[in-house]
């Protein structure tokens, strides 16, 4: 699978170079422990991808992907200040079968808002299901939400709902373009 994924990334970068879109930035995010920057094979791979048009590589520490995997031996603890997850205010996920969810951390598609083809995306984006979810998240009422209750995103240090470790990239991408 890695080889197949890598060849698709390379093909995408080649197409990007051919069509030269003005405002497209391509970022590869790599997660791992210890710091992947020390792996010479990974450094060679990122040099190769940059030569094909990759703009930036971002290294991240692993998180629990909406509770799907365990990243530490201890259970999730609620910090003194539980943050608000901001995904449902700026993102939707369209799964392979057209179902739409509110969260890119929900890999199993457990939080479904609607289905493309049966509803317009604008209808789903402004629909009662996502409005109710936004209200619950604004109140930080994660307990009744299966995926959110075990997700570590709102438990990480944040600035305005953006995890601290992503703040620099978020500000650079969203404010500086």
Question: What is the domain partition of the chain in residue ranges?
Answer: 2-60, 87-175
What 3-state DSSP class applies to 48? helix
At 38, the pLDDT band (50, 70, 90 cuts) reads confident
The verdict on pTM exceeding 0.75 is no
What's the pLDDT at 174? 65
Q: What is the rounded average pLDDT of the residues 151-159? A: 79
Cα dihedral 55, 45, 167, 14, rounded to 10, equals 30
Q: What is the CA radius of gyration of the chain?
A: 18
Contact 44, 72 (CB under 8 A): no
Residue 90 CB partners (closer than 8 Å, separation 6+): none
Q: What is the rounded average pLDDT of the residues 68-75? A: 56
Higher confidence at residue 52 or residue 77? 52
What's the pLDDT at 100? 93
Give the span between the Cα atoms of 125 and 94, in whole angstroms.
12
Higher confidence at residue 99 or residue 169? 99
């Amino acid at each position: 699978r890695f080889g197949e994924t890598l060849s698709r990334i390379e093909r995408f970068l080649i197409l990007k170079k051919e069509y030269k879109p003005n405002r497209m930035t391509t970022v590869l995010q790599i997660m791992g422990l210890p710091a992947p920057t020390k792996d010479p094979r990974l450094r060679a791979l990122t040099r190769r991808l940059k030569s094909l048009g990759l703009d930036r590589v971002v290294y991240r520490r692993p998180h629990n992907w909406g509770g799907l995997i365990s990243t530490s031996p201890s259970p999730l603890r609620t910090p003194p200040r539980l943050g608000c997850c901001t995904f449902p205010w700026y993102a939707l996920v369209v799964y392979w079968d057209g179902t739409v969810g509110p969260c890119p951390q929900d890999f199993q598609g457990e939080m479904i808002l609607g289905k493309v083809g049966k509803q317009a995306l604008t209808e789903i984006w402004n629909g009662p299901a996502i409005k109710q979810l936004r209200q619950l998240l604004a109140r930080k009422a994660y307990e009744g939400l299966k995926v959110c209750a075990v997700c570590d995103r709102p438990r990480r240090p944040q600035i305005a709902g953006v995890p601290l470790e992503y703040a620099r990239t978020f500000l650079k991408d969203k404010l500086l373009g």
